[in-house]
Chains A and B, each alone.
Chain A
């Protein structure tokens, strides 16, 4: 079990919240608000890396295979599938996969949802893009988790790792203020001890033959009540790695 990244308590916690995923004002409302900024970062990097033009096109990501690890209710899988990508979403919670599958079916989207973990994923071939979005801070063995993720990546493919920085700022604002004062997230969603610094993420990626090509912070603007990409990586941040 020591090599497994899965934390059973974390899986139980998200299972209880499975029905909340697609309620815009439900318990995941912050994730909904946060989604456009991280999608913008992901799509911009994918388009640059795979030389996809920015011109208006119905399905610009047609032909790309994407694996979303810890997909939850499919908040990222669905937009990417709508843009034409061939999306596989995996999650350790069966209820999350069920909630995601029902929602995708109701929206006529063909997404391959599998109830499994990244270590147990039994799938032929590898992926052009792998998403590790806000999931690495919920696993037990982060090094093993990223190593296995990188193994599933095609040469010249992209891996995105989004998590929370291990700073005093994130402890005060991303943990206590967000969970206990502003109620952005259900209480106990995050364990500060599992947060990673950008340098730790860079190091994990480099160790697994991935070159870091871009990183950015995603910060909350209380005046505009919106989340925007920024240079400051004091709390939420996102890193893109490219496999050599």
Chain B
């Protein structure tokens, strides 16, 4: 080998070395990235991705766009939720096409005597309480925003498995691809992986009820008001979306005859309770949803945090399901922001502990109180009926307590 060849050999060796070390450094850098993974297929997953993307970290959103939910369900978004969504750039909800809810009127009908007792939540200083938004509209607004957000990658492939070890999690896809992450967030109660974890931490039971969600065109004389009728068959909510459109949600026992009724019969049944408040109405669509209660006692498992419906599915009686989810998301955002600003890792146990401490009490209170309420309002026991009647009467004459409840329901207590 002459001198020229020797020199060329050394240069080639050096080039290989530089190339190899640079590529290796880049690979190391990529695997070092603090990635956060979100699993879910609903608005909660989209909202979580949008929120946590504000932390400036890359988000892998495992989300199947084709599984879009076409139900006619609506969501009550409290004043706090609307403000929070507006702050993260979801401005469409302030649109006039969604009616603001300022008052709520509850009407309890005694199961034995058919006697009515009314309870009105109205305070001109606490308004608006919120808005009723169709789930599909909310989903579309959020999806549009997520697609526009640079640090969110949507991964649509099916997940085959999730491996958890001490520091990291690996999300394996059916396609054979794997995604490494430090923190996995579950947002969806339909997530099959929840049940792979410690079952003793997860309570799941049927309410023994089915909700009818009814989308209708309605003419009303009174605006900005939602109604809840506690009928002998179960609670029926009249939820105005806008001046022409309303949603009715009727929670019925699984063995209720009404579930077998035709569209016209259901219209007649609803009209019996609502004729004083609506002039005309025509039902567009009726969906049925089995009501299931689920509650995670830990809200966390190794590198996983469960929020929203993956941690708690509550009865729709108080209309607080999505607002609870939003409180979970906003709390987790604050906890992550605090610890990431202090240089902690995404999977540090402080993050899991603080999130649990800050959300557990509120979630427990809402989950179990709504379960208790749903049982009480559907009960035919005379003592319970009388007790509810008396409570309604006392509460209607206690403006201070009503004010507190309104502040709580609208989220003003936490603003």
- Structural contact, A80 and B54, CB atoms closer than 8 A: no
Contact code string A70-112 (vs B, CB < 8 Å = 1, else 0): 0000000011111100000000000000000000001110000
- Structural contact, B342 and A108, CB atoms closer than 8 A: no
Interface residues of B in 331-376 (CB under 8 A from A): 337-339, 341-345, 349-350
A-B Cβ contacts below 8 A, count:
36
Determine the distance from Cα of A107 to Cα of B345 in the docked complex, in whole angstroms.
9
- Structural contact, A36 and B342, CB atoms closer than 8 A: yes
Name A35's closest neighbour in chain B (CB-CB). Answer: B342
Least CB distance, A14 to chain B, in whole angstroms: 23
Determine the distance from Cα of A24 to Cα of B56 in the docked complex, in whole angstroms.
27
A80 neighbours in B (Cβ, 8 Å): 343
Determine the distance from Cα of A90 to Cα of B238 in the docked complex, in whole angstroms.
68
Least CB distance, A159 to chain B, in whole angstroms: 19
- Structural contact, A39 and B28, CB atoms closer than 8 A: no
Determine the distance from Cα of A43 to Cα of B341 in the docked complex, in whole angstroms.
9
Determine the distance from Cα of A81 to Cα of B344 in the docked complex, in whole angstroms.
10
Name B339's closest neighbour in chain A (CB-CB). Answer: A36
B55 neighbours in A (Cβ, 8 Å): 56
B57 neighbours in A (Cβ, 8 Å): 58
Interface residues of B in 149-182 (CB under 8 A from A): 167
B344 neighbours in A (Cβ, 8 Å): 36, 79, 82
Question: Which residue of the partner chain, among B32, B167, B343, contacts A78 with CB atoms under 8 Å?
Answer: B343
**A231 in the interface, Cβ–Cβ < 8 Å?**
no
Interface residues of A in 27-56 (CB under 8 A from B): 36, 39-40, 43, 56
B338 neighbours in A (Cβ, 8 Å): 36
Contact code string B223-256 (vs A, CB < 8 Å = 1, else 0): 0000000000000000000000000000000000
Contact code string B40-58 (vs A, CB < 8 Å = 1, else 0): 0000000000000011110
**B287 in the interface, Cβ–Cβ < 8 Å?**
no
**B26 in the interface, Cβ–Cβ < 8 Å?**
no
Contact code string A161-189 (vs B, CB < 8 Å = 1, else 0): 00000000000000000000000000000
A24 neighbours in B (Cβ, 8 Å): 349
A108 neighbours in B (Cβ, 8 Å): 28, 31-32
Contact A56-B56, Cβ < 8 Å, known A24-B349, A108-B28: yes
B31 neighbours in A (Cβ, 8 Å): 108
- Structural contact, A39 and B56, CB atoms closer than 8 A: no
Least CB distance, B183 to chain A, in whole angstroms: 15
Q: Which residues of A contact B (CB under 8 A)?
A: 24, 36, 39-40, 43, 56-58, 78-83, 106-108
- 5 closest A-B pairs by CB: A79-B343, A108-B32, A83-B343, A82-B343, A39-B342
- Other than the given A79-B343, A81-B343, 15 more pairs (CB < 8 A) read A24-B349, A36-B339, A36-B350, A39-B343, A43-B342, A57-B56, A58-B56, A79-B342, A79-B344, A82-B343, A82-B345, A106-B167, A107-B167, A107-B345, A108-B31
Q: Which residues of B contact A (CB under 8 A)?
A: 28, 31-32, 54-57, 167, 337-339, 341-345, 349-350
A-B contact pairs, 27 of them (CB 8 A): A24-B349, A36-B338, A36-B339, A36-B342, A36-B344, A36-B350, A43-B341, A43-B342, A56-B54, A56-B55, A56-B56, A56-B337, A56-B341, A57-B56, A58-B56, A78-B343, A79-B342, A79-B344, A80-B343, A81-B343, A82-B343, A82-B345, A83-B343, A107-B345, A108-B28, A108-B31, A108-B32
